[in-house]
Amino acid sequence: MEKFDFGIIGSGPGGYTAALNAASLGKKIILFEKDLIGGVCLHKGCIPTKTLLHSAEIYQTAKNSSSLGIDINVCRLNIDKIIERKTAVIEKLRNGLERAFKNAGIVNVNAKAEIIDKNTIKADGKTYFCDKIIAAVGSSPKELPDLKFDHKLILSSDDVLNFKNFPKSIIIVGSGAIGIEFSRILSAFDTNVTVIEIADNLLPNADIDVSKRIERIFKTKGIKFYTKTSVEKVEKLDDGIKVFLSNNEILESDCLLLAIGREPNKIEKIEGVTYIGDVLNSIQLAHFAIKQALNKIMQIPFDENLVPSVVYGMPEIAWVGKREQDLKNYKKTMIPISALAKSHCDNSLDGMIKILTQDNKIVGAHIISNEASSLIQQLVIAMQFNITAEQLKSVCFPHPTYSEGIFECL
């Protein structure tokens, strides 16, 4: 039986980070992947969505460019090219990962792995002994008992990322990060989007001011939504679907995206095996899987309460720490992004920065702004290293920038 220091199952952010870091310590690694190297993040998640989003943003900017003094005579979507570019980006990153595996001497088995015991993995009819096993097998889109994917009319996020053409209309059930991102991408590509959310507000996991602001932004962008509403029944038609809502309204649409969350992929649960990433069904984000891998392999500590969330689109949404609705005895400062000179320069006035403190300690930060995905990092650093609001305020912030909004709040 072949022997290895680490047997790693899954090649998403959790698996590839574990494999490459363990290899850098001189360990002998075998990695099992039943599909393509890169996992959900590279093939069905972070990367294809952000690549499509970039095209969507450019299209919207181009369509609205005359107010910036740029007249574009023909502004047309070339969907084949948009999809070709998305595939090319994925391929380039996948090749990079495969090269990195090869250079690191990682043995790569393209097969479904089964964990036999805490030291044994079986794949492709062979058995491998591994001193340690890490399972980073990820998650898959969730269905409802009476609303199952048919991959034509009732779609998962994987199906939407395989679109060869954008539909004229779509109903998106669920307004978590995935539902909100697809609403923004598809609506920017001129699809008529309607979001159905059972909770009281859109993006129910976010701070209440963020949810309310996003609802305002959706209204101005013409993205229809229903809150406190559920889907009672879906009827399939020859050319689309009919959706019966709990408020007795009936909607028709080309298709429906079910974005109600993801469930962990199935794998044997065995004591002594380390499980990381989406399969844990806790925080389902690529950087969480990466940090867990680094923690398990390199013993780099990290605070699971300070994992930032980002929802991409125009403008970006990002937050870390506590939400206002979860706090008592706190101080809140909030400024609109339009208070910042940079937002006027960029013609991007929608958004806000909100910082929550308790005894001068920053306990939560919530941002809707261009560059929010990077801005939030300043607050994550401050919170992780107990830098107080007073101390952070004493730092010099460049002008004109969105980060001045953090200074203004402090």
Ligand X SMILES: Cc1cc2nc3c(=O)[nH]c(=O)nc-3n(C[C@H](O)[C@H](O)[C@H](O)COP(=O)(O)OP(=O)(O)OC[C@H]3O[C@@H](n4cnc5c(N)ncnc54)[C@H](O)[C@@H]3O)c2cc1C
By C-beta, is 17 or 60 nearer to ligand X? 17
By C-beta, is 157 or 343 nearer to ligand X? 157
Residue 11 sits in the site that holds ligand X (CB under 6 A)? yes
CA nearest to 191, candidates 267, 254, 282: 254
- Per-residue contact string for residues 189-228; x = within reach of ligand X by CB under 6 A: ----------------------------------------
Q: Is 117 helix (H, G, I), strand (E, B) or coil?
A: strand
Which of 6, 8, 15, 202 forms a contact with ligand X (CB under 6 A)?
15
Q: Cα(245)–Cα(180) distance, rounded to whole angstroms?
A: 19
- Nearest distance from C-beta of residue 337 to ligand X, angstroms: 21
Residue 35 sits in the site that holds ligand X (CB under 6 A)? yes
Which of 4, 6, 32, 101 forms a contact with ligand X (CB under 6 A)?
32
Which of 267, 294, 320, 380 forms a contact with ligand X (CB under 6 A)?
267
Residue 178 sits in the site that holds ligand X (CB under 6 A)? yes
By C-beta, is 33 or 404 nearer to ligand X? 33
Q: What is the 3-state secondary structure (H, E, C) of 29-87?
A: EEEECCCCCCHHHHHCCHHHHHHHHHHHHHHHHHHCHHHHCCCCCCCCCCHHHHHHHHH
By C-beta, is 139 or 343 nearer to ligand X? 139
Q: What angle (nearest 5°) sits at the alpha carbon of residue 278, between those of residues 273 and 280?
A: 50
Q: What is the dihedral of CA 117, 120, 122, 128, to 10 degrees?
A: 180
Q: Cα(139)–Cα(40) distance, rounded to whole angstroms?
A: 8
By C-beta, is 32 or 128 nearer to ligand X? 32
Where do we find the tokens 């300043």?
378
CA 41 to centroid of chain Cα atoms:
9
Angle between helices 13-24 and 79-103 (to 10 degrees): 30
By C-beta, is 256 or 410 nearer to ligand X? 256
192: left (phi > 0), else alpha (psi -120 to 50), else beta?
beta
Residue 136 sits in the site that holds ligand X (CB under 6 A)? yes
By C-beta, is 83 or 251 nearer to ligand X? 83
By C-beta, is 28 or 112 nearer to ligand X? 112
- Nearest distance from C-beta of residue 281 to ligand X, angstroms: 10
Residue 297 sits in the site that holds ligand X (CB under 6 A)? no
Residue 321 sits in the site that holds ligand X (CB under 6 A)? no
Residue 273 sits in the site that holds ligand X (CB under 6 A)? no
Residue 9 sits in the site that holds ligand X (CB under 6 A)? yes
Residue 138 sits in the site that holds ligand X (CB under 6 A)? yes
By C-beta, is 182 or 226 nearer to ligand X? 182
What are the phi and psi torsion angles at 238 (to 5°)? -65, -35
CB atoms within 10 A of CB 304: 11
Which of 112, 142, 361, 393 forms a contact with ligand X (CB under 6 A)?
112
- Nearest distance from C-beta of residue 161 to ligand X, angstroms: 7
What are the phi and psi torsion angles at 84 (to 5°)? -60, -40
Q: Give the HSE-up count for residue 164: Cα atoms under 13 Å, Cβ half-sphere.
A: 1
Binding residues for ligand X, rule: CB under 6 A, are: 9-15, 32-35, 39-41, 44-46, 49, 112-113, 136-139, 157, 178, 265, 267, 277-279, 284-287, 289, 312
